[in-house]
Structures are given as C-alpha cells and as structure tokens.
Chains A and B, each alone.
Chain A
Amino acid sequence: MATFDTADALYGTGQYGVASYGITSPSQVVGGVEGTGQVQTVAVNGFEIDLSERLVGVSATAEIGNVLGKGPAATKVLTGVEGTGSAGSVRANPGTILVGVSATGSVNTVFENPDEGLISVSATGSIGSLTFSNTHRVTSVGMTGSIGAGTYTGITLVIPVLAYSKVRTFILTPSQARRVA
C-alpha cells in the first residue's frame, strides 16, 4: 500500500487508464490531535467517576464551620487555663486544692470553706468596722486600707469618766460646808 505524507503531491502526469486523475486515496499518518473542551464544575453528588479510572490526586479547598472534640471527659487533663475577664463570685469546693490562679479582672465576693487550705491571700480594701476582743490573739496582720470605726473591749481606762473611788471620797455633813453665795 502506497504511503503519502504532506511532502507528496499529485500532478497531472501519468498514463491514461492507469493513473487516476484528481482523485487519490492515500493512507496518511496523523501526527497528533489537539482539541479544546470544557468540563463541568466538580460537585458532590454531581460528578461520577467510574471505578475503572484511577485518580492520582485530589486537591480541594473548603471551609469548616465548627470543630467539636468528643471523648471520655474523665481521661482529659487540662494543664492550664488562662483568661481575662470579671468573676462575679469565686467559691472553692470542699476537698479541692487551688495551686494557683492567675486572672485579671474584678472579684465581687470570695468565699473560703473551712476544709480548704489557702496558701496565700493578698488583698487591698477597706474595712467598715473592726471589733477586737481580748479573748483572741492576733499574731500578725498585714494590710493596706482604711478603718471606719473600732470597738475595743478589755482595755481599762486610766481615768474612768464619771467614776470615783469611794475610799477617797469625803462625805460632807450639813455643818461642814460653808455657804459663800
């Protein structure tokens, strides 16, 4: 079978009845095929891939709204909590040891339960009134603030007001006193 390529041509030469004129049926080799097409947008449930095809790689960009962690709560350990805000009230539960708490904000009320050990407390504020009883012993107090009023018991005045010793009192008789006016 004759083979022609793009360099060959047919001209009007030949023998009558042997060669065909103007018509030829060559077998030609096509060097390549080039085309332009469009693939529809890939969407979930909208594009089907046959099992016989092999996908070498898939690349996608998506957005995740929320991530929720789920697992046994008892086995989780929170090594640290850090926050900034205001606390309405802080109450420590019995049996709980607070190693350290660091926070920035305002605290309205702090409750202390008898079973708990507070390693240290530092505060600055004002005291409305202070009642001191001699039945208690205060070893040390360190604070900064203002004291509104104090009530003290167990302190003996050196000079009792409106009181006198009857031992050193002389009782006058009507004849002793001298009227001068």
Chain B
Amino acid sequence: MSIKWQDKDPDDQVDYSIDWTNILETHTISSVAWKIYDATSGWITFNQGDIVNGLQHVTNTNTDTVATLYLGLGTNFQEYNIICRMTTSISTVFEQEARIRVVEKN
C-alpha cells in the first residue's frame, strides 16, 4: 500500500521523509536507495541529480530512523510514484511506495 506525500509546487525544493521507527524496533537504518516509476522503463533507480519526467532528485539523507528525499522541479498536475528501499543494520530490506503530486500554487 502506498502512502501519499503533500503536494509539491514546481518551484519548491523541499524534503519528503519516511519514518521507519516502528519497523526498525531496536535496529537502525543502514542504507537507503530510491526508485521512481517511468512509464517507459518501469521502476528505475533515482539517484542524486537525476531528473525523471521533470522531477528532480536533489539529494537524499537519512538518520538512524528517518529516510529523506529532497525533490525539485516537477511537471504541473502530474503524479509521481517513488519507492524508498531501506536496508536495516541487521541487513533486512524493506520497501515503501509513496505518491506525490505536483501542483502549482496560486
């Protein structure tokens, strides 16, 4: 089941996060990777600096429990599907899909 982040303005460059605390229990985040869905290529890796269908991966960070993706640009009225792939400190791997819609604010 996917989650939905707040809408994004094309001019905004903001952070979107997933809090994995309830999944990790006593463990911590070891690494995080991001994917984005492209209608032509399917799920592709979404690395820093990439622009896919107009949406820009600015950078990403994580704490022991929270994974954060900084997004920029985006096409107005388009919805993007993104996956956060998280590896724990005990090498278990979890994925969570998120949707974000780009809407220009008035």
Contact = CB atoms under 8 A, between A and B. Distances in A.
A164 B13 contact: no
A16 B61 CA distance: 167
Interface in A158-179: 158-159, 161-162, 164-174, 176-179
Given A174-B22, A177-B96, A168 B16 contact: yes
B52 interface: no
B63 interface: yes
Interface of B: 1, 3, 5-6, 13-23, 58-59, 61, 63, 66, 68, 70, 85, 91-96, 98
Given A159-B59, A172-B22, A181-B91, 10 more contacts: A159-B70, A164-B66, A165-B14, A165-B17, A168-B5, A168-B6, A176-B3, A178-B94, A179-B92, A179-B93
A168 B17 contact: yes
B26 to A, nearest CB: 14
Contacts of B66: 164, 169
A180 interface: yes
A173 B94 CA distance: 12
B14 A172 contact: no
**Prevailing SS type, chain B contact patch:** strand
Contacts of B59: 159
A180 B14 contact: no
Contacts, number: 71
Contact of A172 (B61, B70, B96): B96
B61 A173 contact: no
A126 B6 CA distance: 51
Given A159-B70, A164-B68, A176-B1, A169 B94 contact: no
Nearest to A160: B15
A173 B19 contact: no
A180 B95 CA distance: 7
A179 B17 contact: no
B57 to A, nearest CB: 13
Interface in A116-164: 158-159, 161-162, 164
Contacts of B6: 167-168
A176 to B, nearest CB: 6
Contacts of B68: 164
